[in-house]
Copies of this chain bind each other. A is one copy, B any other.
Amino acid sequence: MKAVELNKDNWESLLQRPTKSVEDIEQTVNQIFKEVRVGGDAIINKYTHTFDKVELQTLEVSSNEIENAEKLVSKELKDAIQDAKRNIETFHTAQKTDKVEVETVEGVLCWQEKRAIQKVGLYIPGGTAPLFSTVLMLAVPAKIAGCKEIVLCSPPDGEGKINPVILYTASLVGVTKIFKVGGIQAIAGLTFGTERIPKVSKIFGPGNQYVTVAKQLSTKFGVAIDMPAGPSELLVIADDSADAAFVASDLLSQAEHGEDSQVVLVSDSLDLFSKVEIEIEKQLAKLPRKEIVIKALENTKSVLIKNEDEVISFVNDYAPEHLIIVTKNDGFFIDQIVNAGSVFIGKYTPESAGDYASGTNHTLPTNGFAKAYSGVNLDSFTKSITFQKITKKGIQNIGKTIELMAEAEGLQAHKNAVTLRLKEIDNV
**A371, B219: Cβ atoms closer than 8 Å:** no
Interface status of A260 (Cβ within 8 A of chain B): no
- The stretch among A7-15, A50-58, A221-229, A264-272 that forms the contact with chain B is A221-229
- Chain B CB within 10 A, most for which of A94, A287, A365: A94
Is A76 part of the binding interface, using a Cβ–Cβ cutoff of 8 Å?
Answer: yes
A80→B407 CA distance, assembly (Å): 11
Assembled-state Cα–Cα distance A165/B404 (Å): 12
CA gap between A411 and B287 in the complex, in Å: 9
Contact with B along A96-138 (1 / 0, CB 8 A): 0100111011001010100111110000000011111100000
Check A401/B80 contact, CB under 8 A, given A352-B406, A388-B360, A414-B253: yes
Separation of A420 and B348 alpha carbons in the complex (Å)? 10
Inter-chain contact A402/B357, CB cutoff 8 Å: yes
Question: Within 8 Å CB of A144, what residues of B?
Answer: none
Check B368 against A372 for contact (C-beta < 8 Å).
Answer: no
Assess whether B256 is in contact with A344, with CB atoms less than 8 Å apart: no
Q: Does A359 contact B (CB under 8 A)?
A: yes
A314 on interface, CB distance cutoff 8 Å: no
A349 CB within 8 Å of chain B? yes
Segment of A39-47, A63-71, A150-158, A376-384 in the binding face: A376-384
Interface size range of chain A in the complex: 35 or more
- Contact residues in B for A115 (Cβ distance below 8 Å): 337-339
Interface contact A108-B405, CB-CB below 8 Å: no
Inter-chain contact B118/A90, CB cutoff 8 Å: no
Q: Are B95 and A112 within 8 A (Cβ)?
A: yes
Chain B residues closer than 8 Å to A255, beta-carbon distance: 413
Cβ-defined contact, A104 with B76, below 8 A: no
Q: How far is the CB of A80 from chain B (nearest CB, A)?
A: 4
Q: Shortest Cβ distance from A137 into chain B, in angstroms?
A: 12
Which residues of chain A from 338 to 362 have any CB-CB distance to chain B below 8 Å in the complex? 338-361
The chain B residue with its CB closest to the CB of A383 is B374
Question: Within A213-255, which residues are at the interface with B (CB < 8 Å)?
Answer: 216, 219-220, 222-224, 228, 243, 245-246, 249-250, 252-253, 255
CB–CB B352/A256 < 8 A:
no
Known: A128-B410, A253-B416, A388-B358. A87 touches B352 (CB 8 A): no
The docked-state distance in angstroms from the alpha carbon of A100 to that of B92 is 10
- Determine whether the beta carbon of A417 is less than 8 Å from that of B345: no
CB contacts (< 8 Å) of A395 on chain B: these are: 348-350, 353
If the complex has contacts A222-B368, A379-B384, are A77 and B408 also in contact, measured as CB distance less than 8 A?
Answer: yes
B224:A353 contact, CB within 8 angstroms: no
Q: Determine if B354 and A386 form an interchain contact, defined as CB atoms under 8 angstroms apart.
A: yes
Residue of B nearest to A98 (CB): B97
User: Are the CB atoms of A398 and B87 closer together than 8 Å?
Assistant: yes
Q: Is the CB of B369 within 8 A of A222?
A: yes
Whether a CB of chain B sits under 8 angstroms from the CB of A409 is: yes
**Which of chain B's residues has its CB closest to A396's CB?**
B348
CB contact between A404 and one of B76, B342, B375 (< 8 Å): that residue: B76
CA distance A76 to B81 in the complex (A): 63
For residue A389, CB closer than 8 A to chain B, the reply is yes
- Tell me, in angstroms, the Cα distance from A418 to B369 when the chains sit together: 28
What is the CA–CA distance of A352 and B402 in the complex, to the nearest angstrom?
7
Residues of B within 8 A of A361 (CB): 386
State in angstroms the CA–CA spacing of A375 and B384 once bound together.
7
In the assembled complex, 19 residue pairs joining A and B whose CB atoms fall closer than 8 Å, in A order, are A77-B404, A81-B405, A108-B358, A115-B338, A119-B371, A128-B410, A222-B369, A224-B372, A245-B420, A252-B413, A253-B417, A255-B413, A334-B387, A352-B406, A352-B417, A354-B388, A357-B398, A374-B384, A375-B385
Q: A84-B405, A286-B416, A289-B412 are in contact. List 20 more A-B contacts (CB 8 A).
A: A80-B400, A80-B408, A87-B105, A94-B102, A108-B359, A110-B360, A115-B338, A118-B338, A201-B372, A202-B372, A224-B372, A246-B420, A250-B417, A252-B416, A350-B402, A353-B388, A360-B388, A372-B383, A377-B384, A379-B379
Cβ-closest 4 pairs across A and B: A104-B359, A224-B372, A129-B410, A201-B372
